Amino acid sequence: MENIIELSEIVKNYKVGTIIVRALRSVSVDIKRNEYVAIMGASGSGKSTMMNIIGCLDTPTSGQYILNSKDVSKLEDNQLAEIRNNEIGFVFQTFNLLPRYSALENVMLPLIYAGYSKTERLERAKKVLEDVQLTDRIAHKPNELSGGQRQRVAVARALVNRPSIILADEPTGNLDSKTSLDIMDLFDDIHDAGNTIIVVTHEEDIAQRAKRVIRLIDGEVEYDRMKEEPAETKTQ
């Protein structure tokens, strides 16, 4: 199966005052189309930085990032915004829904930016809300929905543009254990339907739902293993 993501010797440094923070240190990772990958690590491990680069929210200091056969390492902000809207569906811990908009209107937003007609926006938004079992909640605003329902709206919004990748950042962080299981069941269904899924998490039970786990420590890959394989710590 072809690679959808190729990170080659990715370095990301931040300057904090007079100090250089080395967030990623020559990380090289390939992810194939339709993989289900969890990226793990403690606070400061570099997992959020890696997520931001994969999601085209940030660019590397050095190294190369190939997304869907396109080198996005050195693109300008407006080009990265277009890539994000067309290639990547984001699901965040805090849902990031607009409070004055209904579930349907929130899901339609990416389609407005992409230039779809109102008829097609309505059709596609209603379809993905049906897919996440929220047909009876499409007119509800976020404050009228439970946490799990709000996250389902966020997942529907991520899916509506039919992106190459679903990138989820701590998607169950604000949910109770039962609702977390329901959301992860939904991710299983999305993966089974053919989507590439990358989940950034610090929770072992959430990571175990993925087929592959990449663990970072101090900006480096500590290990990268398929679910059925034993973990092998990187030798120094």
64-78 pLDDT tens trace:
999 999 999 888 888
pLDDT confidence of residue 40: 95
Confidence at residue 232, expressed as pLDDT on a 0 to 100 scale: 53
pLDDT digit string (tens) for 96-152? 999 999 999 999 998 988 888 999 999 999 999 999 999 999 999 999 999 999 999
Alpha-carbon span 80 to 58, nearest angstrom: 9
- Is the pLDDT confidence value at 231 over 90? no
For the chain, first and last CA: distance in Å? 31
Does the structure show a pLDDT above 60 at 198? yes
**pLDDT attached to residue 228:** 66
Element (H, E) at 25: strand 19-32
Fold annotation for 34-61+70-226: Rossmann fold (3.40.50)
In this structure, what token pair is assigned to residue 21?
């923070």
3 state SS of 72: coil
pLDDT for residue 236 is more than 50: no
Closest C-alpha among 34, 35, 29, 31 to residue 8: 29
pLDDT tens figures, 154-178 = 999 999 999 989 999 998 888 888 8
Q: Which residues does 58 contact at the CB level (< 8 Å), separation at least 6?
A: 12, 49, 52
Contacts of 15 (CB under 8 A, 6+ apart): 21
Which of the 8 DSSP states describes residue 162?
Answer: -
What percentage of residues in the chain have a pLDDT greater than 70?
Answer: 96
What residue segments make up the domains of the chain, in order of their start?
Answer: 34-61+70-226
Q: Taking 90 as the threshold, does the pLDDT of residue 95 lie above it?
A: no
Mean pLDDT of 14-31: 93
